Amino acid sequence: MKSIVCFGELLIDFLNFNTAEEGGFQLPEFRQYPGGAPANVAAAVGRLGGPASFLGQVGDDRFGRFLKASMEAMRVDMRYLTVHKTAHTPLAFVFLDDTGERSFEFLRHQSADVLMTEQDLPDGAFENAGLFHFCSNTLTDADIAATTKAAIAKARAAGAVISFDVNLRHNLWPDHQVDAGAIQRFLKLADIVKVSREEADWIEENGFALTDWLETVSAVWVTDGGGAIRIVTRQGEHTVEPPKVQVVDTTAGGDAFTGGLLQALNGRDLAKMSDDDLAAATRFAAACGGVAVSRAGALPSLPEWQDVERDWPF
């Protein structure tokens, strides 16, 4: 089976897991986890036993080395990871509220991931690509957006299906203002799209209705936390209810869902899948997401095959 190639940021998530009192101060305590949305998706596929590879760049530092080893432990092919000699590995500090919902602070200015260029894209990464997956975090400035576009073109030329998880992080964009035009342009380059309800609403409010997406996109999955998942195609729309779970940490929930979905779709002709097939793939993806949000952290929370085997649709 062809590989699921995930492109973009690989970073450290410092998860705020506790607060300690010391000398009259309330001191947040953080634990270091591997993270980054497309990296999480690759790890989700690898953890399930699927063929996953990662394409991106880290710094020549202890964080970068930790991340490479962590991804390899998740059975992800890391041959195409490049290392920048001077730029640092990106860092994210993740804060959780009482319900497990997240907020982020990023240290990503001129970090290794955003300095990746078209020349850093090895041709070998695309030779066996069945699916190519990316997120909007590599669209936040013109240079890394150009690299993303070049990677999509290489994947398309190799016959890969293009997957886009919108995954908006407003505070990663200049002045915390997402470039709606950039999101629209890259939606038009995708075959399948995963988006949250809030993200879909934001895109539509900025002049690009979901019906417009379907002029080029084959299928859209709209998630809504613990609510119903919408599957929208040119033929119509239907919904799938996700499993009910006790939420501990939502950090990797969406990425586990996406990894499970790509695993279910890999090697299949989307145009020939029935509504029942799409619903079955979505239920499997939702089971993967449900396991992830019931555990702490990003990569460590991802399900293994035995956790979701009963939900495998094909």
CA distance 295 to 300: 8
Give the orientation angle of helix 180-187 with respect to helix 142-157, to 10 degrees: 0
> What distance in Å separates the CA atoms of residue 6 and residue 135, rounded to the nearest whole number?
9
* 115 CB burial (10 A radius; 0-12, 13-18, 19+): middle
Any idea of the CA torsion for 140, 118, 133, 165, to the nearest 10 degrees? 10
Token readout for 254 is: 């969406």
* Active site (annotated) includes residue 255: yes
Q: Mind giving me the DSSP string for 136-192?
A: GGG-SSHHHHHHHHHHHHHHHHTTPEEEEE----GGGSGGG---HHHHHHHHTT-SE
DSSP calls for 41-63 = HHHHHHHTT--EEEEEEEESSHH
Beta-ladder partners of 32: 14
Q: How far apart are CA 137 and CA 276, in angstroms?
A: 32
For strands 25-35 and 52-59, give the pairing.
Answer: unpaired
| Catalytic hit among 13, 113, 191, 255 | 255
Q: In what order do the strands lie in the sheet with 219-223?
A: 81-84, 52-59, 3-7, 129-135, 161-165, 192-196, 219-223, 229-233, 236-240
Active-site residues, by number, are 255
